[in-house]
Amino acid sequence: MRRIAVLDAPSNLGLRPPTETSVPGCAKAPGALRDKGLIPRLGARDAGCLTAPRYDPGDWRPGDGVCHADAIAAYSRALADRIGAVIDAGEFPVVLGGDCSIVLGSGLAMHRLGEAVGGRIGLVFVDGHSDFRHPGNASYVGAAAGEDLALVTGRGQTDLAAIEGRRPYFRDIDVVVLGIRAQDEYRLDLQAAGIVTRPVPTLRVEGAARTAQWARDQLVDCAGFWVHVDVDVLDPAVMPAVDAPSPGGIAFPELELLLAGLVDTPHCLGVEITVFDPDYDPDGSYAEEITSALVAGLAPVRSVAPRPDLIAARRDLLAPARPAAHPTPREPGAADAAHELGVADAAHELGVADAAHELGVADAAHELGVADSAHEPGHEDRVDPVEDPRPSLVEAAPADDTDAIPAEPTVPVESGMRSASGVPVESGVVAGSAVLADPAELSEGNADAALAGAGVVSAAAKADAEFAGAGAVSAAANVETDEDEPLREGEETIRPASRPLGAAPLLDSEPLPATRPGMLRPRQVDGFTLPAQRPAFDIGPGEPADIA
């Protein structure tokens, strides 16, 4: 069961000023939703608030690049840190924006996480607008909230599209766009980029629940996905309190079904809610409806198990370097001798333990324990090639996590038995296809014997492997038994289970019931009329900012 953690991200830095003397009001959205009891109604933990820098366009003019770029970049890094901390705790982050530029922070957090687990993280982008303006399809840019999807897919100025040298945060094929209007001006650009979309007409015909399952199916090759929700995906008839209302949206019940279908899987890593503007909600009624929709839509989160592999991978990535297994100073020139004499000669000169220390665990265990022994006279063991060097989700988990990594069976070895390489051993246990002999048998004087058996790994190399975070994996786990010599009675060859690296399990949840017809009913609000609005991310010069 996952616990929800609510984090406020009240940034309005990505929008243009509504008027010359005011600032966008979406920074007030987290407070308005909290005031309606969102946190206790979700049963969530309060993860605090990341205060945004001051909104100050200064002397910025269209053509100067993205406004507030430096402030947005700094805020995105801080937001990524906070989201990462929530995921590290095994919780489900719900980020309350703020404008759509906060997706840069969550995108950065997801890219970091993807690096940790050795996979790709996807994005489900639920928005009434494509937000895909970039220098390649527009004469100027300026408001990050109208360019956020372009920025997180690597398009646009480097200080926002490549924070920490990460570009893109989400690959085009790992993005699904839901809820844009059929007439969106950048829909053809999305199609040309290979970004799959489902506009509102198709979403309503197929149903919100089936659309959620369809979106998850598009991201089946990802290790997880993030959900971005801009409430302007709702029709202005039911939700006009946004900075860029656009007719032809969906209704609240459809949003609830869509959210529930997306979060009802351990592969959904978090959700962000953006662009609700309390300045257009004087009596708080729209805040109440958004809160109710979030409580209903996020209810499945509590019944979904957390992802221990993600927590473990992040812990390994962020853990400080552990002390070396051999703190004593090495003999001068030992490493140079290893390179001059070659791997095999260096092992004979330095011994197994010293070779593991001087050459590194990977070189010593793989090169000495497998590759060289396979070519020694009298040893015809075959070595399975390593097809993919990337760390898998299973390998990223800690060695003591019995749920993430099945314990490798061990088989007692009696005196006179042979390892998979044909080397006689006196005692020990079979681990995989290797024999871990007693530490006393692996002294420096028996280095040659240890080298001759591809399955024998020294205690020092095993310790180094543990310090390296690899979980003491036997270097000879992939060595096959010699076909010419049958296994003796009581001897076994055991192989560890494996799965394709970087691949997430298939999504197999049952879809929710189809959307019911007749959901779109305009609200009646007495005594309040909403003025006509212009998109707050439309930065065209010489036009009124807000009131038509």
Model pLDDT for residues 446-470, shown as the tens digit of each residue: 434 333 333 333 343 343 434 344 3
The pLDDT value given to residue 61: 86
Q: Is 314 exposed, middle or buried (0-12, 13-18, 19+ CB in 10 A)?
A: buried
Domains of the chain: 4-316 (3.40.800.10), 336-385+407-496 (no CATH)
* Range in 78-82, 85-89, 467-471, 517-521 with the lowest mean pLDDT: 467-471
pLDDT given for residue 281 in this prediction: 97
Residue type, 440: A
The pLDDT assigned to 294 comes to: 98
Question: Residue ranges of the alpha helices (H) in 298-404?
Answer: 308-318, 334-341, 343-359, 361-362, 373-375, 393-396
pLDDT at 1: 79
Distance in angstroms between the alpha carbons of the first and the last residue of the chain: 49
In the chain, the percentage of residues whose pLDDT exceeds 70 is: 58
CA angle 369, 375, 378 (to 5 degrees): 100
> What type of residue sits at position 294?
L
Alpha-carbon distance 301 to 3, whole Å? 8
Q: How far is CA 526 from CA 236, 237, 285, 523, 530, in A?
A: 16, 14, 11, 10, 11
The pLDDT tens digits of the residues spanning 105-142 come to 999 999 999 999 999 999 999 999 999 999 999 988 99
Helix, coil or strand: residue 434: strand
Is pLDDT of 527 > 80? no
Give pLDDT, residue 539.
52
pLDDT value at 478 more than 70: no
227 has pLDDT over 60: yes
Q: How many residues are present in the chain?
A: 548
Average pLDDT for 316-344: 50
Query: Are residues 104 and 157 in contact, defined by beta-carbon separation less than 8 angstroms?
Result: no
Pairing of β 429-431 and β 434-436: antiparallel
pLDDT above 70 for 58 = yes
Question: Which sign, positive or negative, has the C-alpha torsion 382, 387, 393, 395?
Answer: positive
In degrees rounded to 5, what are phi and psi of residue 494?
Answer: -115, 130
Which pairing describes strands 196-198 and 121-126: parallel, antiparallel, or unpaired? unpaired
pTM of the predicted model, to two decimals?
A: 0.63
Give the pairing type, strands 196-198 and 224-230. Answer: unpaired
Q: Higher pLDDT residue, 377 or 524? A: 524
Name the packing angle between helices 343-359 and 459-467 (round to 10°): 50
pLDDT digits (tens, 9 = 90+) for 339-384: 444 444 444 444 444 444 444 444 444 444 443 433 444 444 433 4
Confidence band, pLDDT 50/70/90 cuts, at residue 313? confident
